[in-house]
Amino acid sequence: MISYFIFVLFNFLNFLIYKNASFDFDSASHIFAGKNNRRFSHSYRFGVKLPVIKLYEIFYSKLNFKNNFYRFVNFLLINTSVLIIYFSPKYIDPSNISIFLFLLIINSPWLNPSTSSSEMYESVILILLISLPYLVQNDLLTLSILSFGVFILIFLKYINLIYLFPITFYYLELGYSLYVLFFVFAILSLFSFSTFKKSKRYISSRRGFFNVKTLKFILSNKIFIITYSSLIIFVFFNAEIIGQLFIGTSLLITFLQKQFFSYFLINTSTLLIFFNSQNSTYVESDKLFLTFCLSVITFLSIINYYNFFRTKDFFVLVRSLQKEDVSGDKKILNEQVKCINELILNNEKCFFLGTDTPLLLELSSLNLINNYFNQNHLYYWSGVDDPVYEIISEIKTNSPVFILVSREMDFFSLDEIEKLEYVLLKEVSHLKIYKKITV
């Protein structure tokens, strides 16, 4: 029990490091959707993070928590994962190397616990479903919790349907009758197919084995990637078949998303440590290898901690590991907000075009007339056949006084705005403010 409180304390110290980080685009988008769920359309639905948005609606729309509150939830979820792993009846790691590895990796800027991600919730659900038969003795209750857990898992991301294979195999091996569960799975598959159809444009945009961001991350974090990959190989080939199925499925989902960095590694990392902590076949040389991995990750983490205290912003550190320099973004954001507040009155209608949700999050008083608040959602996830026509139609119908453009996507030409009789009034870095010529 004392060890667990040490783990919680370590988690808390890391939470203090990332709790006030600047917001990335995804996190800002989740928060904005939660705060304004009734005002704007978005693409969060069955299989696309909708449970997270509904939770944020409670946090931010009803309870009015600060924007960074979800990070405290992440802190609680990490502690929950540690709780499940450490107090599992099958936990056999007296030196706690597994837990310390987990804590260093999950709290690191490589996996980025400061971001809002469905994977934080998925990882807890996965190891809970694996532990369930040992925690609950009643078969009916076990299957009920299993069905609900699977439902939430797929509700978060439709690609998690692939986890049905190891889950089904696992419970059949334990002697459970899964007829009811198969029925639930079939219904979930139909829902997921509907979401898949609307996401075709996004899926077709993911070309190549890895995307550019992943390649940059791999090339700039070679020692971490080599150590982490070695750990995956070691645990995978030493695990029982059920562990191999879950770890392999998690890796498959990661590769299908063409991302091998940040929060996409949370599920794999959690499953690795979960099964590693239950392996009773390790000999002395195996323990030495795990200790070596822990030593390397610890050394790299010390460097990361040093860089954090130098930059003072966890988000800047995260992006630097992806070969991006965002050290000046916070200053630019403040300048943009100041400029907008000086130029635009609260009652003047505005249309926002782009993907700059951190900027949107700072402009709660703007009278936005958008349907979709995020251009990314409209283009990739809405299923709208002609997003350009959709944008132009909205502007013509609502006739906003100002059009704000920040981090726009390539599919929409800004020449279209000038054709609608808007003139560029002000430019602050990547923000462009257009005003209607005749109001």
pTM, rounded to two decimals: 0.91
| pLDDT given at position 37 | 76
Amino acid at 171: Y
Residue 351 φ/ψ, nearest 5 degrees: -120, 130
Identify any residues that bridge with 354 across adjacent strands, giving them in sequence order: 406
Q: Are 270 and 254 in contact (CB under 8 A)?
A: no
pLDDT value at residue 175: 84
For residue 237, the Cα-to-chain-centroid distance in whole angstroms is: 28
What are the pLDDT tens digits along the chain (439 aa)? 688 999 999 999 999 999 999 999 999 999 998 998 777 777 787 778 889 999 999 999 889 999 999 999 999 999 999 999 999 888 888 888 999 999 999 999 999 999 999 999 999 999 999 999 988 888 889 888 988 898 899 889 888 989 988 998 899 888 887 766 666 666 666 665 555 555 554 455 555 556 788 888 999 999 999 999 999 999 999 999 999 999 999 999 998 887 888 899 999 999 999 999 998 888 899 999 999 999 999 999 999 999 999 988 999 999 999 888 898 999 999 999 999 999 998 889 999 998 899 999 998 778 888 888 888 777 776 667 788 888 899 899 989 999 999 998 888 888 889 889 899 999 999 999 999 987 5
CA dist., res. 119 & res. 116, Å (int): 9
- Count of C-beta atoms within a 10 Å radius of residue 17: 18
- Residue 24's nearest CA partner among 153, 116, 152, 150 is 116
User: Do the beta carbons of residue 372 and residue 42 sit within 8 Å?
Assistant: yes
Question: How far is it, in rounded angstroms, from Cα 174 to Cα 234?
Answer: 26
